[in-house]
Structure 1
């Protein structure tokens, strides 16, 4: 890269950090990249850090030592998170979303890159100080959400499927009980998808009783992997038997009236999780 003025360095440095979250970048890397002294790079990073934190983009941590450098941690402020959740509630409450059987049409949201990008950032903000090695979801509607979270955590995505695929090599399969239908179903995951001891965050687009998520938790045990957390876009309220207890949700679907074509949606508990983080951060 050609030698840049400070204004050019700041733009390129900011872009580089945003593209490499949770990754330690050495001062030497930036010094060689911009052909500038480390003292100048340090001054630039102070400016970037100030803007990131003032605008709520995240934090920039300094890692001391010979192998140290700086690490960008994505964050999201309380006001921005509330705006995202309120916007989702408004979108979900549109009567035209009601499908036969009381289901909701959600593919327009899951297929909206900008919206899913921000949801991934919110989940990553809650998980900012936890070590995550992989994000897991079940095919197919949860995939966009999982990749958004994985992007901000800078970790790979493991996709659980309900069928065997030759292209994924040997598979691990388990049977699980569907929370809603109580039917025995099968889910599979490629052996190469997770390493033993991996710390995994599970995401899904919609949760009723949590049978599918319960199945993924059981699948983690087959890989000797650890569950760090669970995140869902929408959870259904009023389920008789919830198969999981500890999770975070953006919204709660409290009622769908097919006859009157009304949908009642409430904020989930993810904002409470974010509040806990900020209170601990201020101590």
Structure 2
């Protein structure tokens, strides 16, 4: 089937967006559209320029016989800043305040468009790093983890607090919760993570960072490398932070339960 150029550009763009980080040869596109490689190269140049102008991402060209192009996700700083400002406003609503100073976040984590944008912002920060797997802790971090994984085109592994018979043999460790100082257990299936993997840890909320530090320790059992740690919200009022190198989009600066006021500001995303 012969494609008109306009059809080819639309179809190529859609294919690239559906396969982020995947090396695609010019031969593949040439055969797919029954077009000369020179025409495909011109089309890719147009797509690359449009992606970069719109802040969608870029196309990375790999030369040589085994080369091709990769779509790398990105986001303009202005777009990210505007969205994070919106999140700060949404998170500051007094209606989110729960007994004990906790915040209700399930509505945010249940909105596909919002979670997709959060995932894109995080993914763009690690798009040029080696990431083989996204790791998160069950359960609230799961939507964010899958969103980031979708933008980086990598699998997700989920750490749990108890064994599941359906996961087969597992590796478990004990860790100290940063906030409660209690000893807890986390478990990961042996089959879920290959030895030596490069892992990006993603979670929804960080207080002292005990759970995140526990996941880092768990990764040591797999001889894995931590590519980074990213959270949606970090708590500012913490005496001792158990992890140092991390990315946060929002910071919970203060909660006044008496007056029902929540102060949420930018995390370290623009300063990290």
* TM-score, scaled relative to structure 2: 0.99
Q: Distance in 1 between matches of 2:252 and 2:133?
A: 28
Q: Distance in 1 between matches of 2:167 and 2:36?
A: 47
CA contact (8 A) 1:177 1:184 kept: yes
Aligned to 2:131: 132
Aligned to 1:74: 73
CA contact (8 A) 1:116 1:145 kept: yes
Aligned to 1:200: 199
Aligned to 1:218: 217
Map 1:1-283; keep pairs closer than 5 Å: 2-273=1-272
Q: Distance in 2 between matches of 1:174 and 1:139?
A: 15
- What SS does structure 2 have at the residue aligned with 1:80? helix
Q: Distance in 2 between matches of 1:61 and 1:224?
A: 30
The one-character-per-residue Cα deviations of 1:196-244 (angstroms, maximum 9, x if unpaired) are 1111110110010001001100000001101111000000012011111
- What SS does structure 1 have at the residue aligned with 2:12? helix
Aligned residues: 272
User: 1:124 Cα shift?
Assistant: 1.1
Q: Distance in 2 between matches of 1:48 and 1:245?
A: 38
Alpha-carbon RMSD: 0.7
List gaps (5 residues or longer) in structure 1: 274-283
The one-character-per-residue Cα deviations of 1:43-74 (angstroms, maximum 9, x if unpaired) are 11111011001100001111101110111000
Aligned to 1:276: none
The one-character-per-residue Cα deviations of 1:175-203 (angstroms, maximum 9, x if unpaired) are 01111111111100000111111111101
Q: Distance in 1 between matches of 2:43 and 2:81?
A: 32
Q: Distance in 2 between matches of 1:183 and 1:98?
A: 24
Q: Distance in 2 between matches of 1:87 and 1:147?
A: 22
User: 1:272 Cα shift?
Assistant: 2.2
List gaps (5 residues or longer) in structure 2: none
- What SS does structure 2 have at the residue aligned with 1:118? helix
